[in-house]
Structures are given as structure tokens and as C-alpha cells.
Amino acid sequence: MISEITDGTFQEETWEGLVLTDFWATWCGPCRTQAPILEQLAQDYDETEIKITKLNIDENMDTPVKFGIMSIPTLLLQKNGEVLEKLVGVHSKEQLKEVIEKYL
């Protein structure tokens, strides 16, 4: 399952465990391409392994600035609040699994 998060809930939602956050916007074509790939990825992992979240950059502008998000989609992989990877652009399910498996 993918959780929708906000500037207000970002720290609480990403503080513990392995978390992948999708920075996206409704008008972004590549973001719409990435979304179903993330849905498939979420079905392959239990939430105890990795939590997948999305943050709409048009509605939440503080967090993208804090992490230097300059283009979307950008995926931020964190473990216990520490940034491990920043992936810019559309990535395949296989590419994402390869990155995630390094940290499980």
C-alpha cells in the first residue's frame, strides 16, 4: 500500500525503517508513468520491509526544498530518517528492487 503524506506528516512517516518517498505532481507525465510501477512494487514487499509514500509537491512545498528536489519524479530512499539514495526520473520495477535490496 502507498501512503499519501504531507509536509506536516513527512518526518513522522519517514523516521523509522526503510521508506521510499515519491515526490510527484498531477500534471507531471513521467510521474504518471512511475505511479503504477510503484503500485506493483508495493505489492511485492510487506510494509515491515519497506514503506512506500507519495508527496504531492504542488500541495507540499517545504519538504522538496529541504531535500533539494529540483525535478520530478524524484524518489527518496531513507532508513531511520537518513537519506540513502535519491533517484531522479522514471525507474523500472527491476531498477527499484535492485536499489531496495541493497538496504533490506
User: So which residues are the catalytic ones?
Assistant: 28, 31
Nearest 5°: phi and psi at 23? Answer: -90, 120
All three cell numbers of 6: 504531507
Taking 3-state DSSP, the helix, strand and coil percentages for the chain, each rounded to the nearest 5, stand at 35, 30, 40
